[in-house]
Amino acid sequence: MQPRSDAERIQLYRESISRAWGYGDANTWPVKLNAAFHLFLKEFGEELIADIIHLEAEGKSLAEIAQPFYNPARLYRIIDSTIYSMRRNRYNVADQRAIVQKLLAMTRALKHGSEFNEDGANRIYSPAEQQRIAERRLSSAVDSPATSQIVHRFCGVMWAYTEAIFFRAHDVTKEIHGPYTLDDDRQFIVQEYLNLRPAELWPGFPLLPCRTIRVYKQYSRSVRISIDALNHLYHEGGQLVPSLTAYSVEVDGEEHDVGILNEYLKIVQQTVMAISRHIDSISWNERVLKYSDIFWFRKKPLRDQRGLDWRVPASVRSAILAGHENERRRTPLSNEASARLAMLTI
């Protein structure tokens, strides 16, 4: 890949979010995020930037700072929140772009391919790793249509589980990567589910008994798969369920048969119901406070590297509980307006 200038990288970032924001990522549950983030994003970005600068001053490279985040979407999807914070703090455009370049470099350090997914592929594995995964995890054919249905149903239901525990901050808990094309004309994707047991955010709630699940899915070439820069999955051509040719499931790094997915579906239902009931019972300000907890968890790897408490500062918590919704931002933007806004970013 040819080196790109800073200006080219900024333009590719703008184009990537312009395409991805049209996906329908409306941020409406459990509150309209755009109408609430004025209560905490300014301080969120201040801390994030201060942590990165401090860790660099200690001698860490951006790649080293990025490693504990593990999955690239967790960094890429907080860039726009950081830009909002910098604007609130009156950073000039050059300084905004300098921070964005750092976050793009950190994202790139966690991937084998481009951070912008401009060709529709989110490549984390190298070609050698792809081949090893295929040999270890995708050597057995799908034994029945029912098996494929279970695998796809589980991945669909996990969207509800991950949204219940992290609201719209899907980057903390999900990374979809691929498609990886193999020498023998096979292709596969990986759906990774991360931080599945955040007891520090949801003490006393039913949660899955594991921290990570990986689902490897190999499809026939009749399906055309792409993944955008904000980690949205698209497919065209053949239907997914009949096109699945091989799969594998890992729970906390251990391979399991499809039966474990049926067991986990029952727990997922309990979690979603329990959190939904709780959210319905609390005030708008308390919901925003929980959202801020989730945002601070997003950048927890930075605080951990500094040996500092990752939680929301008391002053921010107080401001949230005393704050009000921004009524001008209640109405979701149209796809066209979202695209225009994205192209105006930095």
Domain boundaries, the chain: 6-110+284-344, 127-277
**CA 164/CA 1 separation, integer angstroms:** 39
pTM metric for this prediction: 0.93
**CA 45/CA 226 separation, integer angstroms:** 31
**CA 290/CA 296 separation, integer angstroms:** 10
| pLDDT at residue 299 in the model | 98
Cβ-based burial of 116 (10 A; exposed 0-12, middle 13-18, buried ≥19): buried
Task: Tell me the pLDDT of the chain (346 aa) as tens digits.
Answer: 667 899 999 999 999 998 877 665 456 889 999 999 999 999 999 999 999 999 999 999 999 999 999 999 999 999 999 999 999 999 999 999 999 999 999 999 999 999 999 999 999 999 999 999 999 999 778 999 999 999 999 999 999 999 999 999 999 999 999 999 988 888 999 999 999 999 999 999 999 999 999 999 999 999 999 999 999 999 999 999 999 999 999 999 999 999 999 999 999 999 999 999 999 999 999 999 999 999 999 999 999 999 999 999 999 999 999 999 987 766 655 555 545 555 556 7
CA-based max dimension of the chain:
60
Closest CA to 180 of 218, 237, 142, 143: 218
| pLDDT at residue 329 in the model | 63
Q: Is the dihedral of CA 232, 234, 239, 245 positive or negative?
A: negative
* Contact by Cβ (8 Å): 175, 73: yes
**CA 34/CA 81 separation, integer angstroms:** 10
